[in-house]
Amino acid sequence: MITDVWHSRLFNVHAWSEHKAVMGLTEQVFHSFTDEQKATVIGKSNNKGQTDLYRALRIILVDQYVSWRTDPTLCTAIQRGRNTWIVGSRYNGMNLPHRTSDVIDILIEQGLLHKANHSYNRTGSSIGNRSTRIQPTAKLARMFEHVGLELHQLQLHEKQETIILRMNDEDDDDKAIDIPYKDNALTRRMRKEVQAYNAMMLNHYVDVASLTEPCIYREVQKRGATGKVEVVLLFRTGLQLG
């Protein structure tokens, strides 16, 4: 059961791993599904092979493993609208389809994820508005215990765009929008430089000596959530230009 919906982090669409422990976990979870649920996951794609719900399952599991390893009481904020993920978008490098929500529903049905439904204030005020929250159950946590990976052993920025055109400069603004754009000589040069920097940083370790955990806690500034605390993860985030 999710006890605090504001004690949350954002779902990471770029969470990935090809470690045998993660691949084994994905197989274990998949084989726990009913035949009908398996058919949903391995069904045919309408996007010329670009999408793969089995891959989406692995992304969800890696993302939730990160949440669980960071803080078992932490939940994940996730948008579930049909237009949340657009296949082929430069900001959706893993090509997660809108049917990723079907995989989340299966995990909930299997007792592997808790869910707190989204809320919407119909009076027109933004107070109390929030997205759906998910959180690993004790059943999934027991599976996670056998993975045994540290967070730095995971790929948390797989195929992530580093040059972002954003309508609003504030990262935590709910109304900020990442805008599609066409590449030109400038964006290609910027991307090459940022990717080179990130590749270099992967071979270095930067520590914050004052922290005992790879995260910081800060008060939520949104209306309707005053006094609540959110978690900001700190590990190999890489550089993005926006």
Looking at mean pLDDT, say which of 19-28, 129-138, 162-171 comes out highest.
19-28
Angle at 33 between CA 101 and CA 60, to 5 degrees: 40
User: In degrees rounded to 5, what are phi and psi of residue 4?
Assistant: -140, 100
Q: Is the pLDDT of residue 233 over 80?
A: no
Distance CA 152, CA 14 (A): 14
Q: Which of 148-157, 215-224, 229-238 has the lowest mean pLDDT?
A: 229-238
For the record, the structure tokens of 169 come out as 């400069």
pLDDT digits (tens, 9 = 90+) for 66-120: 999 999 999 999 988 878 888 899 999 999 999 999 999 999 999 999 999 988 7
Mention every residue, 6+ apart, whose C-beta is less than 8 A from residue 123: none
Q: Given this model, what pLDDT does residue 64 score?
A: 98
Confidence class of residue 129 from pLDDT cuts 50, 70 and 90?
Answer: confident
Domain ranges of the chain: 8-233
Q: Which of 41-45, 46-50, 158-162, 227-231 has the lowest mean pLDDT?
A: 46-50
Q: Given this model, what pLDDT does residue 122 score?
A: 60
Q: Is the pLDDT of residue 169 over 80?
A: no
Q: Which residues are registered as beta bridge partners of 77?
A: 10, 133
- The H or E element spanning position 3 is none
Q: Given this model, what pLDDT does residue 239 score?
A: 52
Distance CA 78, CA 88 (A): 20
Distance CA 150, CA 23 (A): 15
Distance CA 1, CA 67 (A): 15
